Amino acid sequence: MKNYKVLLFYKYVKVENPEQFKDEHLNFCFNNNIKGRVYIAEEGINGTVSGSNADIEIYKKELKSYPYFSNIVFKEDSEEKIAFSKMHVRVKKEIIHSDLDIKSTEEGGKRLTPEELLKFYEEEKDFIIVDARNWYESKIGKFKNAITPQMDNFRDWKKVVDEDLIEYKDKTVVTYCTGGIRCEKASVYMVEQGFKDVYQLAGGIVTYAKQFPDTYWDGSVWVFDDRFVVDYNKTNEHKYITDCQFCGEPTSYYINCHNVECDKIIFTCHNCKKEMDYCCSDECKNAPQKRPRYYG
């Protein structure tokens, strides 16, 4: 039995006093052994937290005790250890940085359930599916036939829509991301720009891949905690979409180069990671300043 859980959650909703919530919530997490990262803003909440099974149940009740979070949806993974080493609760201008001047997410794309997306694929519906995540996230996992814009961060979405996706204005377009937070806001901007038939994948990749592994999601899911990646697929046919940049073996693992002046993202197998001393090149391997290792 796995004794720990990781919760992924977000909600766009008006929060009256983010600073007060931050103080209360951080204190609660410290007192209840919860670790992770929570962002709070006037537009809502975005978080990933981890703790023991019992502590996570207490945490869920606490968060839902706030009226504006009473119907928040949690995505849960069971794990063998806690997925964070610290706890942060921070007030932000946006719960996901976008630089999009969006006043409300209520007029966004229609919510598409995992069952409906599966049906789109199986019935060979004429649709476009677009990844709203960063380029390096889609490097290790993506939906079949997905468009994967080369975004360094979500602030690039406006440019992607205005310049790269404009030809699909009259098509059925499905946006997706890890848990739903980015594709919800991404779909709003597309609707505002006159796209005719826009959907957002409800619950994101995590919800789809857990329900329908080894179907139309290929590869692994990039997560921003100490797990690095999560694998929901079981067969090699669907488990890997990239190779180790050193030996060419299939992999879904990544690290940042441990040369502090480089920090380049490396897609590597575990053997090559160790052989290269957690670095991207021989030059970085011999660099004078390298970050400490917190994992094997």
For every residue of 144-155, DSSP letters joined together read TT-B----SSGG
Active site residues: 177
Select from 126, 51, 120, 42 the least CA-distant residue to 86.
Answer: 51
Q: For the chain, what is the mean pLDDT?
A: 95
Q: What is the pLDDT of residues 236-259, one digit of tens each?
A: 889 999 999 999 999 999 999 999
- Counting runs of H as helices and runs of E as strands, what totals does the chain give? 10, 17
- Helix or strand holding residue 266 (H, E): strand 265-267
Residue 21: predicted pLDDT: 98
Give the pTM: 0.93
4-91 has which fold?
Alpha-Beta Plaits (3.30.70)
Let me know if domain 110-219 sits in CATH 3.40.250.10.
yes
Q: Residue 98 has what pLDDT?
A: 94
**258 CB contacts (<8 Å, ≥6 apart)?**
277, 278, 279, 284, 290, 291, 293
Residue 294's pLDDT is what? 56
pLDDT of 296 > 60? The answer is: no
- Mean pLDDT calculated for residue range 260-266: 95
Instruction: Give mean pLDDT, residues 140-145.
Output: 98
Distances, alpha carbon 214 to alpha carbons 9, 149, 164, 260, in Å: 24, 24, 30, 37
Where residue 104 falls among pLDDT bands split at 50, 70, 90? confident
For range 177-193, the mean pLDDT: 97
Residue 167, pLDDT above cutoff 60? yes
Residue span(s) of the chain under CATH 3.40.250.10 come to 110-219
3-state secondary structure of 222: strand
Residues of the chain with CATH 3.30.70.100: 4-91
